[in-house]
Amino acid sequence: MEKVHWLPERLWKERVGLTQKRLDSQMKAFLDGKFIEKKERLITLENRGLTFGDGLFEVLRVKDGHIFFFEDHLARMKSSAVFFGIPFPYSLDEIKDRARELIAFNGIDDGELYVELTRGIDQNREHKYPSENTQPTFFMLAIPLREIDPSNWERGTVVFGFPDLRHKLCEHKTINLLPNVMAKNFAYKRGGYEALMYREDSKGRYATEGGSSNYFLVKNHTVITPEIDNILPGITRSKVVKLLKENGVEVVERRVYYDEFLKADEVFLVSTVSMVMPVRKIDNKQLAAPGKITLKAMELYRKLIDEEKGRC
């Protein structure tokens, strides 16, 4: 079987050495309307993002200077900002222009654009929302892609189950990520790549999502993925669902029980950074990976990424 190389081997092997100097002494960030040195510490301690987790974020994939699915990500952020009553300080065109400048300055060929919006500074640290004229805090980071072993795409990755300890606002990408961090580190400590979180109902454990991923399983040629029921409506998830349906694959969105993943013919996870990644093991259960439909999803998404270049 032909190997799937999502990351150029040269970049994977040399990334740390190539970018460390930039990270330490040259990289810039964008904060509240201006470019600053990334190493500067300019966030006020009373910022509500720090004291209350009162904010939102997005992570966008950058490759060869292109920002993928920018409108989808920022539309989601803007919708959540309206829901929470956080002012959105710039137009999408302004954000995209500044993001492109930042990516170019930092020399990011293969990386991530991190965008965060908080309700701003509250000098008295009160639970009560500050006055309506309080300026929100908005910043962006353009950084190299985190290091991921390419074998995760070639032969599949390992995930571990973990209880979903989160709040009831998971359809919004808030900066309240401690349960996600706990879940992912549970997996890391056991040699895994990601967690598969679950909740319980009268029928038993049902799967929700990962610490930063959405999940799909394949059973009898049908793709099944957890419905949007207090989980994040992932951008990559929506793209993969659409691609599979357009290419003749039946996709069902419903409540999916944990044991269904253990008994699946194939399992894969998706995210902005992981893209489409096969899963070869859940807890102690071995799975065939990558399976036929998983490979199809990987190829369709790769083609979509190629098509998107030049549009962003």
Show which residues are catalytic: 173
Contact 198, 186 (CB under 8 A): no
Give the number of residues written for the chain: 312
198-231 b/e (C-beta count within 10 Å ≥ 16 → b): bbeeeeebbbbbbbbbbbbbbbeeebbbbebeeb
CA distance 285 to 220: 19
H helices of the chain, where? 9-21, 48-51, 70-84, 92-106, 151-154, 178-188, 235-246, 258-262, 292-308
Do the Cβ atoms of 26 and 108 come closer than 8 Å? no
- CA separation for the pair 134, 1 (Å, rounded): 57
